A and B are shown apart, each in its own frame.
Chain A
Amino acid sequence: MSTAASSSTSETIAEPGLKIKVSTKEGEVFELDEKVAKMSQVIRGILEDLGEQNGGDDSVLPLTQVETRIFRKILVWLKYHAGHDKEEAPKAEEDEIIARFCEEIPEWDQKFLNVDQAVILEIMLAADYLDIKKLRGLCCKTVANILKTKTVEQIREMYGIENDFTPEEEEEIRKQTAWCEDEPPRQGSNH
């Protein structure tokens, strides 16, 4: 990805406005625009709590669970979406479910998440920790899309999961789910 340039610009942001400082697990400090930082509900919450009593310019929010390498990626995502997203009204539950099934992942995000499986999982974990719903949702959808195309065996292999069922248990589940096929639907190169 050609995003390396934008990910390491913590010192060179030109625009005025409030800056929020956060530090990663390794202790590296990043300076974010307020708008970008507030896309994380966790940071937003902390800022709102601090807001009244003026947290002071030099305070650094420690994000102890997020590694620098993952945070850089998330920052890329946040900056892009801070610049490109319109404020979205919260959706009704029904619309949300429909969106979950029918909306496709936008091209930019597809490219962004076109990384190693393990990295997606880590981004997802960090997005969960920082409470960035949209990013978390995108990761979930990406992983779900991958699962849809794989057989049970392939999933186990991909994530290094051991088959810990006894033969009887496996048979039991097979019975419960007898109507659905072992193989994922089509998707192959020939029909």
Chain B
Amino acid sequence: MAERSHAGEPTFGINQLPYEVLIAIFAHLDCSTRYRVRRVCGFWNSLLSFEFPIMNVQFPHRTTPGQAFESLVDQHQSALASFTTSSSAGIGDMTSKPPLTAVRSIVISSVSANNLQNLLDNRVVAFLLISFRKLRDIVFVGGKVNFWLLMDLPLGMMEIHFKNVTLDHISSIDYLRERQTEELPLSFELMLKKALVKLVDINVPVYPAGQKQLIGLDIKKLPRVTQQPILRIIRQQEKNLSTINVSDVQDIDFGLFRNSTLRELELYIPKSYDSYSHWQNLDRFSSSKLFRT
């Protein structure tokens, strides 16, 4: 690694840190950043492949649930074999590979419109949980997802990422929202929000004229308890509103907000307000525009 110097003084380089510290940094990354920084250099790549092993699972066209399970077991077996035997092939291999139970990341990709929901039945989910105790994130690429799926996964510990996924039955989100308040722990809610934000990010809907204001009306109706997180989002994302207070909320013109801000704010609006059926809108959007391969 190259040493840079400012004014004659050698700068401390990130790769001079003990590798445990680097790993601790990586542990704070979300999964897409963690994938991205693998490309930085060989050292980072080998650290990340060692500490956050990935398994790729492919479901080809018209996979049945039974086949999905078998293919998962197969891939698990072959991965197990390669983890224990190989130390020669591959880029920047460390001397020994971690046990496969340490897999942190699974990428499940489906080239066709398989309903991942059906493929990931109880048996598969149980298998995932038992075989991969340290699973930290699951990435779904392609296929259809229904949020019932998320109910079966131990979401509190995991990050779920969607890419080119069609959302099926948006109503399951409402179901989850209702349950959140009664039975589910707060952590679930937070994780769910994270998952939703990512999902929505993929779609990037642009709000039609007037609908920003409608969302604004909903937000102004929210009880005071939920206003703190909302204020925080606004302060962070809208530069000219970085100092607003609770008392200012009623005077804000939400029509001027960025789409991304509103998308985050929307997550705080209960469905029962219903002045703007944004989720249905999103559903329509995702089915029309998302499926490009």
Interface of B: prevailing SS: helix
Is B265 on the interface with A (CB-CB < 8 A)?
A: no
Chain B residues with CB under 8 Å of A163's CB are 40-41
Chain A residues with CB under 8 Å of B201's CB are 185-186
How far apart are the CA atoms of A172 and B96 in the complex, in Å? Answer: 20
Chain B residues with CB under 8 Å of A179's CB are 35, 107, 109, 139, 141, 163
Chain B residues with CB under 8 Å of A161's CB are 1-2, 13-15, 40-41, 44
Partner of B18, one of A128, A156, A160: A128
Chain B residues with CB under 8 Å of A141's CB are 28
Q: Is the CB of B41 within 8 A of A180?
A: no
Partner of B39, one of A122, A125, A152: A152
Partner of B29, one of A137, A147, A173, A182: A147
Partner of A160, one of B1, B25, B190: B1
Mark out the residues of chain B between 236 and 287 whose CB falls within 8 Å of any chain A CB in the assembled complex: 258-260
Contact with B along A124-147 (1 / 0, CB 8 A): 110010000000110011011101
Is B54 on the interface with A (CB-CB < 8 A)?
A: yes
Q: Is the CB of B32 within 8 A of A181?
A: yes
Is B3 on the interface with A (CB-CB < 8 A)?
A: yes
The smallest C-beta distance from A131 to any residue of chain B, in angstroms, reads: 12
Is B42 on the interface with A (CB-CB < 8 A)?
A: yes
Interface centre among B40, B159, B190, B194 (most CB of A within 10 A): B40
Contact with B along A152-178 (1 / 0, CB 8 A): 100110011111110001101110110
Interface centre among B35, B39, B44, B141 (most CB of A within 10 A): B39
Q: Is the CB of B91 within 8 A of A169?
A: yes
Contact with A along B9-29 (1 / 0, CB 8 A): 001111111101100111111
How far apart are the CA atoms of A176 and B53 in the complex, in Å? Answer: 11
Chain B residues with CB under 8 Å of A191's CB are 258-260
Q: Is the CB of B258 within 8 A of A155?
A: no
How far apart are the CA atoms of A95 and B12 in the complex, in Å? Answer: 33
Is A60 on the interface with B (CB-CB < 8 A)?
A: no
How far apart are the CA atoms of A147 and B43 in the complex, in Å? Answer: 16
Chain B residues with CB under 8 Å of A182's CB are 36
Q: Is the CB of B45 within 8 A of A173?
A: yes
Partner of B40, one of A152, A169, A176: A152
Q: Is the CB of B33 within 8 A of A184?
A: yes
Is A28 on the interface with B (CB-CB < 8 A)?
A: no
Chain A residues with CB under 8 Å of B15's CB are 159, 161
Partner of B156, one of A98, A122, A170, A186: A98
Chain A residues with CB under 8 Å of B45's CB are 165, 173
Chain A residues with CB under 8 Å of B178's CB are none
Interface of A: prevailing SS: helix
Closest to A146 in B: B25
Is A118 on the interface with B (CB-CB < 8 A)?
A: yes
Partner of A173, one of B20, B38, B139, B258: B38
Is B84 on the interface with A (CB-CB < 8 A)?
A: no
Q: Is the CB of A122 within 8 A of B12?
A: yes
Q: Is the CB of A155 within 8 A of B37?
A: yes
Is B157 on the interface with A (CB-CB < 8 A)?
A: yes
Chain B residues with CB under 8 Å of A180's CB are 32, 35-36, 163
Q: Is the CB of B187 within 8 A of A94?
A: yes
Chain A residues with CB under 8 Å of B32's CB are 180-181, 185
How far apart are the CA atoms of A30 and B159 in the complex, in Å? Answer: 44
Q: Is the CB of B39 within 8 A of A173?
A: yes
Q: Is the CB of B21 within 8 A of A165?
A: no
Closest to B197 in A: A185
Is A25 on the interface with B (CB-CB < 8 A)?
A: no
Q: Is the CB of B41 within 8 A of A162?
A: yes
Q: Is the CB of A140 within 8 A of B27?
A: yes
Q: Is the CB of A165 within 8 A of B14?
A: no
Q: Is the CB of B13 within 8 A of A177?
A: no
Given contacts A162-B1, A176-B56, contact A170 B29 (CB under 8 A): no
Is B169 on the interface with A (CB-CB < 8 A)?
A: no
Q: Is the CB of B191 within 8 A of A98?
A: yes
Chain B residues with CB under 8 Å of A124's CB are 17, 21
List 6 other contacts, CB 8 Å, given A125-B12, A179-B139: A125-B21, A128-B21, A144-B33, A161-B2, A165-B91, A177-B38
Q: Could you pull out 12 A-B pairs where Cβ atoms are within 8 angstroms? A: A124-B17, A128-B17, A152-B40, A161-B13, A162-B41, A163-B41, A164-B43, A165-B42, A169-B91, A182-B36, A186-B201, A186-B260
Lowest 3 CB-CB distances: which A-B pairs, in order?
Answer: A144-B28, A177-B35, A159-B14
